[in-house]
Amino acid sequence: MGESLQDRIQKINDRRRAYVCVGLDIDPERFPAGISSDITGAETFLRAIIDATAEHAAAYKPNLAFFLALGAEGFRLLSRLRDFLPADTILIGDAKWGDIGNTAAMYAHTAFHQLHFDAVTLNPYQGFDAIQPFLTDPARGAFILCRTSNP
């Protein structure tokens, strides 16, 4: 079995003194002037953010809603995101996943084996079987929603 996610995070923090998690909420309406609002612009924007923060970031947290809103091209961009990151960086899939057992198992498979996330955000509202499939591999992690910033 591989190294635990907790150990990987500690090594990143020790080696790079990096404690920042950069959210990747790609909203084409908020791109800087000169960056197109299409998929090419989205990739340009992502690469610019990653390049500007790579030496300071221990993790990146793409919000799936923004990628999926771009359709199939957005999903492909999300699928390639790992290729843009420094090798030792943690990738957290932010979707607040959480559904009944067999559906949660499919989400966990997608998150960890298709999208290559190291960790995910989870919503525990549906109960333990909604989060259990995400907790079976110590090399992967989960951040479980317990309090939000919204009123």
129 to each of 59, 101, 145, how far by Cα in Å? 27, 5, 15
Residue 55, classified by CB atoms within 10 Å of its CB into exposed (0-12), middle (13-18) or buried (19+), is exposed
Which is the catalytic residue, given 96, 111, 131, 142?
Answer: 96
- Bridge partners, 141 (sequence order): 119
Tokens of 56: 């300071």
Q: Which residues of 89-113 are buried (b: 16+ CB within 10 A; e: fewer)?
A: bbbbbbbbbbbeeeebbebbeebbe
Respond yes or no: is residue 61 known to be catalytic.
no
Query: Locate tokens 């000169």: which residue?
Result: 34
Rounded to 5 degrees, what are φ and ψ at 43?
A: -65, -40
Active site members: 96
